[in-house]
């Protein structure tokens, strides 16, 4: 765990925000660092905070050296949401009509109210990050990674200065290691648009510590279900796990002409996601056998965050969180717990 000591008490190091190197040739701009002094519980979030459930008790415990009592908190739900196209709705991207975009934006704003109590932190699995091993962002003040190109200049001026959490990143790696996964961390990577675009709507004032976790190259569905299962304990530690992708992601086929084929895959996905856990996992592992599977997902990066979420759901069955269309193609969101 990345730690430091302030006045004898355990605290997360506050790394200074610096311009991170460019990634994969895309433009990377650094958003302003959040001023956390008004929210000391968040600025001092440590793994002990996550485990104990009360920042004040954990801070006192760190000072005295005594173990903080475990405070039970309601189990967090897990959510798979569609993040839309590029930097919408903050700039015009030419995909979808106003009613469709307004409907999706309204849903994303509502995600804040899905947990029964406010989460202590967010863990996001975005379709837009793959690594050789599952990798967590561990910077204390991540920049934004504008992993898109060809949009208006305002697309590269967006800000979403959510604080990171080296402590949560370390906890994620600990859980993955216990489950037999090799993992890594990245101290300089920024939030990609699969994270900052939807969550800028959900939390326009980003005070929650947020960590992003990559997919693993190869995109094996069974492996990502297992990865999600390894992360289940975080739900009892106040961490809201969000998978960000799309239930349809064939960029050459958006449009009403594809609605029927997309709907056949959506129907299969609804049956799979709402099934009891053994059936659900078996169907998701064999997703390529679904009707119109490869039409809906020529490359499955936008579907795999759902596998992680379903794994983290444990015995919780999926329920529809939202359904709508984008450019005439049906899309959906799924909630568990």
In a domain, residue 1? The reply is no
Q: Is the pLDDT of residue 333 over 80?
A: yes
- Assign residue 170 the CATH number of its domain: 3.40.830.10
pLDDT of the residue at 168: 98
Q: How many domains, the chain? A: 1
In a domain, residue 33? The reply is no
Q: At what angle do helices 259-274 and 277-285 cross, to 10 degrees?
A: 140
Which residues, in sequence order, are CB contacts of 6 under 8 Å at separation 6+? Answer: none
In a domain, residue 121? The reply is yes
* Residue 39 dihedral angles phi and psi, to the nearest 5°: -140, 70
pLDDT of the residue at 116: 95
Contact 337, 78 (CB under 8 A): yes
More confident residue, 132 or 41: 132
More confident residue, 146 or 31: 146
pLDDT of the residue at 73: 76
In a domain, residue 176? The reply is yes
Contact 258, 250 (CB under 8 A): yes
Q: What is the tens place of the pLDDT at every residue in 207-250?
A: 999 999 999 999 999 999 999 999 999 999 999 999 999 999 99
In a domain, residue 51? The reply is no
- How far is residue 257 CA from its own chain's centroid? 31
- How far is residue 318 CA from its own chain's centroid? 17
Query: How far apart, in whole angstroms, are the C-alpha atoms of residue 138 and residue 92?
Result: 32
Query: How far apart, in whole angstroms, are the C-alpha atoms of residue 192 and residue 227?
Result: 21
Q: What is the mean pLDDT of residues 137-147?
A: 98
What stretch of H or E contains 229? helix 221-230
Query: How far apart, in whole angstroms, are the C-alpha atoms of residue 166 and residue 139?
Result: 6
Question: Of all residues in the chain, what percent carry a pLDDT higher than 90?
Answer: 76
Q: Is the pLDDT of residue 45 over 90?
A: no
Query: How far apart, in whole angstroms, are the C-alpha atoms of residue 165 and residue 67?
Result: 21
In a domain, residue 20? The reply is no
The vertex-211 CA angle with 162 and 206, nearest 5°, equals 20
Query: How far apart, in whole angstroms, are the C-alpha atoms of residue 336 and residue 76?
Result: 9
pLDDT of the residue at 94: 87
72 falls in which pLDDT band (50, 70, 90)? low
Contact 216, 288 (CB under 8 A): no
In a domain, residue 39? The reply is no
pLDDT of the residue at 172: 98
Q: Is the pLDDT of residue 20 over 60?
A: no
Strand partners, 332: 323
- The SS3 assignment for 326 reads strand
Place of tokens 């975009």: 101
pLDDT of the residue at 51: 39
In a domain, residue 267? The reply is yes
15 falls in which pLDDT band (50, 70, 90)? very low
- List b or e across 217-255, with b for residues whose CB sees 16 or more CB atoms inside 10 angstroms: eebbbebbbbbbbbbbebbbbbbbbbbbbbbbbbeebbe
Place of tokens 């959906």: 332
As a whole number, the mean pLDDT across the chain is 84
Q: Is the pLDDT of residue 55 over 80?
A: no
More confident residue, 47 or 307: 307
Q: What is the mean pLDDT of residues 125-137?
A: 98
Q: What is the mean pLDDT of residues 77-100?
A: 94
- Residue numbers of the domain that contains 224: 73-336
Query: How far apart, in whole angstroms, are the C-alpha atoms of residue 220 and residue 130?
Result: 12
59 falls in which pLDDT band (50, 70, 90)? very low
């Amino acid at each position: 765990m990345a730690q430091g000591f302030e006045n004898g008490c355990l605290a997360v190091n506050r790394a200074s925000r610096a311009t991170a190197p460019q990634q994969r040739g895309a433009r990377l701009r650094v958003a302003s660092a959040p001023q956390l002094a008004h929210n000391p519980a968040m600025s001092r979030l440590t793994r002990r905070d996550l485990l104990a459930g009360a920042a004040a008790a954990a801070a006192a415990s760190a000072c005295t050296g005594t173990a903080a009592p475990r405070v039970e908190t309601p189990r967090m739900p897990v959510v798979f949401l569609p993040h839309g196209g590029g930097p919408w709705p903050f700039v015009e991207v030419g995909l979808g009509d106003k009613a469709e975009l307004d409907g999706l934006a309204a849903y994303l704003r509502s995600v804040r109210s899905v947990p029964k109590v406010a989460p202590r932190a967010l863990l996001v699995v975005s379709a837009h990050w793959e690594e050789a091993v599952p990798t967590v962002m561990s910077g204390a003040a991540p920049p934004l990674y504008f992993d898109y190109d060809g949009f208006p200049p305002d697309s590269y001026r967006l800000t979403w200065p959510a604080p990171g959490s080296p402590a949560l990143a370390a906890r994620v790696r600990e859980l993955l290691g216990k489950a037999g996964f090799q993992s890594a961390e990245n101290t300089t990577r920024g939030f990609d648009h699969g994270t900052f675009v939807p969550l800028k709507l959900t939390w326009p004032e980003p005070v929650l510590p947020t960590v992003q976790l990559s997919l693993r190259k190869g995109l094996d569905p069974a492996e990502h279900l297992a990865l999600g299962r390894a992360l289940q304990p975080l739900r009892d530690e106040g961490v809201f796990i969000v998978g960000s992708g799309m239930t349809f992601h064939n960029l050459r086929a958006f449009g009403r002409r594809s609605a029927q084929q997309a709907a056949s895959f959506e129907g299969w996905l609804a049956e799979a996601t709402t099934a009891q856990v053994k059936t659900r996992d078996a169907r998701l592992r064999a997703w390529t056998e679904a009707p119109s599977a490869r039409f809906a997902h020529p490359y499955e990066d936008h579907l795999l965050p759902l596998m992680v979420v379903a794994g983290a759901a444990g015995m919780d069955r999926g329920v529809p969180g939202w359904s709508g269309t984008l450019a005439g193609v049906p899309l959906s969101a799924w909630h568990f717990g």
